[in-house]
């Protein structure tokens, strides 16, 4: 008998697979930006390329996802969002991601140039349309835009960028489970992406990456993916619990 409980479980499973796809898509996007397979010219055409064979999804992302066993049709994920954005907004987000994660100095300079052609309200509107996982993944790049241009975008969207630890953990666990069905290079690639995602979300340290810990160190090119800036708690933290250990953490983890 198909009960309401089964309905909820089925829909939860679908949601986890879609989240896993979105995370995998994001990591492949970073990789392909890093080797210049995905560049500014490709992003300029993303709105049309996404709809036909040979686009970013068909060429780079879906082949890996399909081999890994994620055969879902989702209308969310970074590429779909970029396709719905204005060209300059899409290019700005691309360069912010490329600079933050790949430390591409050319992207750093392009951010300063492109921001002159982007309306602040259009950028905020784009960010508010993102699902919370994707928004969390580009929190660092958003801070990069703010730091380089002084636009203060983060202040306008931080209420939506809440910690999504449970959602992220389920999606990453699902990604890791796919390794049992694949072999060779793809297995290592999936694990590499999963490990990087854990760093981005702060899962290894059992602490969420929040506004206070996701900051773009635009002056330090050696910052690793998802690096967290720890607060030094001199006496007590904001929850009024005493510090412990090295003084960089408190009992509540805030």
pLDDT in tens, 207-225: 433 333 333 344 443 444 4
* pLDDT exceeds cutoff 70 at 55: yes
Local confidence band at 154 (pLDDT 50, 70, 90 cut-offs): confident
| Whether pLDDT at 120 is above 80 | yes
pLDDT of residue 168: 84
Tens digits of per-residue pLDDT, 76-116? 789 989 988 889 999 999 999 999 999 999 999 999 999 99
| 157 or 107, which is more confident | 107
Q: Give the mean model confidence (pLDDT) for residues 51-73.
A: 80
Average pLDDT over residues 139-146: 94
pLDDT attached to residue 156: 75
Q: Which of 238, 239, 221, 172 is nearest to 201 (CA)?
A: 172
Give the best-scoring range by mean pLDDT among 51-65, 113-127, 156-170.
Answer: 113-127
pLDDT at 70 over 60: yes
Q: What is the pLDDT of residues 12-51, one digit of tens each?
A: 677 888 889 989 999 999 999 999 999 999 898 876 666 6
């Amino acid at each position: 008998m198909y009960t309401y409980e089964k309905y909820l479980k089925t829909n939860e499973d679908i949601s986890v697979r879609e989240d896993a796809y979105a995370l995998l898509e994001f990591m492949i996007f970073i990789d392909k930006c890093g080797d210049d397979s995905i560049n500014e010219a490709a992003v300029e055409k993303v709105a049309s390329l996404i709809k036909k064979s040979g686009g970013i999804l068909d060429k780079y992302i879906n082949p890996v996802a399909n081999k890994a066993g994620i055969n879902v049709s989702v209308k969310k994920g970074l590429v779909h969002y970029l396709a719905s954005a204005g060209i300059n907004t899409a290019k700005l987000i691309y360069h912010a991601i490329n600079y933050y994660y790949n430390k591409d100095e050319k992207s750093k300079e392009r951010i300063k140039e492109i921001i002159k052609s982007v309306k602040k309200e259009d950028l905020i509107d784009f960010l508010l349309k993102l699902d919370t996982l994707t928004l969390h993944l580009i929190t660092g790049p958003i801070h990069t835009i703010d730091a380089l241009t002084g636009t203060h975008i983060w202040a306008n969207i931080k209420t939506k960028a809440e910690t999504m630890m449970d959602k992220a953990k389920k999606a990453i666990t699902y990604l890791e489970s796919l390794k049992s069905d694949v072999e060779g290079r793809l297995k290592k690639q999936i694990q590499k992406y999963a490990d990087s995602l854990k760093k981005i979300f702060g899962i290894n340290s059992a602490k969420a990456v929040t506004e206070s810990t996701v900051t773009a160190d635009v002056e330090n090119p050696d910052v690793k993916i998802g690096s967290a800036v720890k607060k030094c708690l001199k006496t007590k933290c904001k929850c009024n619990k005493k510090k412990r250990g090295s003084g960089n953490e408190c009992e509540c983890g805030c």
